[in-house]
Structures are given as C-alpha cells and as structure tokens.
Structure 1
Amino acid sequence: MRRLAALILSLVALAWSVGAAADVRMSFHSFNGSVLFGRFPHTFIVLEGTLDETGQPIEENYGFTAKTVSTRLLNEPVEHAVEVEDEKYIQETNRHFTVTLTDAQYWQVRSEVTKWRDAPGKYYDLDKRNCIHFVGAMARIAGLRVDYPKDMLRRPKKWLNHITVLNPQLGAEAID
C-alpha cells in the first residue's frame, strides 16, 4: 500500500512539474532604426513557449506598421499591416523585458493582434496608432502599466525604457 501511495504521489508530482513548466513568454523588442537609412525605429512583441492546456508550442512575433512607407504617413492615417519579423531581424533588436502569460492572456493577445490586423480603412497613424500603441495594447493584456508620452511616440526604445520604469515589478533595466 505504501508503494502504491508513493507511486501515485510521484506521478502527481511529475504531472504537476510538467504542467508548471508550460507557459508562454511575451518579450518586448525595439529596433533603433534610422529615419534616413534602412528601417525606421520600431517595436514589436515575440511570443515563445508552450500552452498549458494543449502543450502546443508557440513561436510567433507581431508588429504593427504602415503597409507602405511614404511621406503621406507624416501627415495622415495610412493603410496598415501586422507583420511577422524574420529571426535574423529579431536577433538585431533590443529585448527590453519578458513577461509570462496565462493561456487566456495568450489568446487575448492573439485576438487583439487580429483586431489590429483586420481593422478597416487607413488605421496606421504615426502619432495616434503606431507600433508603440500596438505593443502598449499587448502590454496592458499582460497587466502592465502603460502610457504614451507625446515626446516618445516616435521613439520605441525610449518608450519601452519608460514602460520598464513604470513597471518596477519586471526587474528590468533601461537599455542605453
């Protein structure tokens, strides 16, 4: 009887440890960029891990951007896109901090990504609805404090450093 009880306790402990190891992590990235050369400054999220309920592996990333870069985006809303970045590009970015999501939060993030992607019309606005606002919406789902100081709306790295300060529970440091 003792052996049976020990075996059952061992199986329960194993099942608990496997379940506890499953999680999805959401990392917040910025790219310094250059307005004059190459890509513009940018921020996006990376999702990695495993869903608790199904064990499904997750390896995704999403960023919000203008569909076409032109001078029009400086003065008016333009068509938008949600883009997925190549792994090579991700390696060249700044990872500011990472949070762990529940399965429910993961699905909320995915739903929010879909809303931004499928919004009708010209939805990208450099000062009112850009990559920073998109990443901020995802941060709120994770329970982070978010705001959008006007002087940071075109400076993703500075903005994510600001979010780091607003959320000391992250234990993250600003990136130079």
Structure 2
Amino acid sequence: MGRLVALLLALFALAWSAGAAAEVRMSFHSFNGSVLFGRYPHAFIVLEGTLDETGAPIAENYGFTARSISTRILNGPVEHAIMTEDEAYLRKTNRHFTVPLTDAQYWRVRAEVARWRDAPGKYYDLDRRNCIHFVGAMARIAGLRVDYPRDMLRRPKKWLNHITLLNPQLGAKPVD
C-alpha cells in the first residue's frame, strides 16, 4: 500500500510540475535610446517559455520599425520591418511587465506579427503605426487595456509606464 501511495504521489507531482512549467510569457520592453547617439527609443515584446500543447520551447522577440532610418520618417509612411534583437541588446532594455499567454494567445500574437510584417507598401508611420502601436496590438491580445496618448507616441518607456498604470492587475510598477 505504501508503494502505491508513493507512486501515485510521484505521478501527481510529475504531472503538476510539467503542467506548471508549460507556459509562454510575453514581456514588454522599452529601450531608452538616443536620437543623437546610436539607436532610437524603441518598444518591443519578448516571448519565452514552453507551449502547453506540444512542449516546444519558445524564445523569441519582435519589434516593429522602419526598414531604414532617414528623415523621410518625419514626412509620412515608410517601408517597415519586424526586427528581432540579440541577447546583448535585450540586457540593455527595460522590462516593464510580463503576462502569461495561453497557447491560443501565443498563436494569435504570432499571426499578428506576421500581419504587421507582411503588410503591403509603406506601413511604418511615426505617429500612426510605430513600435508603440505594434506593442499595443500585442498587449490587447493578452487582454490588457491600451490607449495611445499623443504626447507618448514617440516615447516608448513613458508609454509602457502608462500602460502599466492602466492595468493595475499586473502588480507592476513604472520603470524609472
């Protein structure tokens, strides 16, 4: 009898730990940047974890940007790109908050990334469709409240701090 109980407890613990570990998390990042030196301020998402259905590991990040940086960005839509970052860049960014995703939400995020990547023509617009709008679309998939105050459209860190405050259920604090 003791062996049976021990076996059942071991199986329960294994099933519980495997289920608890299978989760994809989406983190929301900003990069301070500098208009004068190096890269511009930026917002993007990081996806990490394990898909529940397949156990496949997930380690991805996506940001939306102009294909090339020039003064044309100031005059309206320009060609766009989805950008991924390396680990060194990720370490230099601000992680504002992280939310769990279901497998279905993860696949919706991936489909939305593809829609932004594959949009025809000139899709990046500094004031109407920039990295903040992209990250906001991903936040909505996760069920977060999102808006776009005009004075924050070019300030990713300030905007993500705003989103943090709009969603107190996150238990997150604004990043200094």
TM-score norm. by structure 1 comes to 0.95
Single out whichever of 31-40 and 3-12 deviates more from structure 2. 3-12
Report how far residue 36 of structure 1 moved.
Answer: 1.7
Task: Report the equivalent of 2:106.
Answer: 106
**What secondary structure sits across from 2:61 in the alignment?**
strand
- 1:75-124 deviation per Cα after TM superposition (whole angstroms, max 9, x unaligned): 11000000001110110011111111111111111110000000000000
Q: CA deviation at 1:37?
A: 1.6
Aligned partner of 1:97: which letter? F
Within 5 Å, give how 1:13-162 maps onto structure 2: 13-162=13-162
CA shift, 1:12, in A, is: 3.2
Where structure 1 has 5 or more consecutive residues not aligned to the other structure, the ranges are: none
- The one-letter amino acid of 2:140's match is R
Q: Report how far residue 3 of structure 1 moved.
A: 4.3
Q: CA deviation at 1:160?
A: 0.2
Alpha-carbon displacement from aligned partner over 1:1-54 (angstroms, at most 9, x marks no partner): 674465235313421221122111111100111112211110000111111111
- The amino acid across from 2:175 in the alignment is I
SS of alignment partner, residue 48 of structure 1? strand
What's the CA shift for 1:138?
A: 0.5
**4+ residue segments displaced more than 4 Å:** none
What is the SS of the residue equivalent to 2:33? coil
Q: TM-score normalized by structure 2?
A: 0.95
Percentage of matched positions with identical amino acids = 81
Please report the RMSD computed on the Cα atoms of aligned residues, expressed in angstroms. Answer: 1.3
The CA distance in 2 between the partners of 1:20 and 1:91, in whole Å, is 26
- Displacement after TM superposition at 1:159 (Å): 0.1
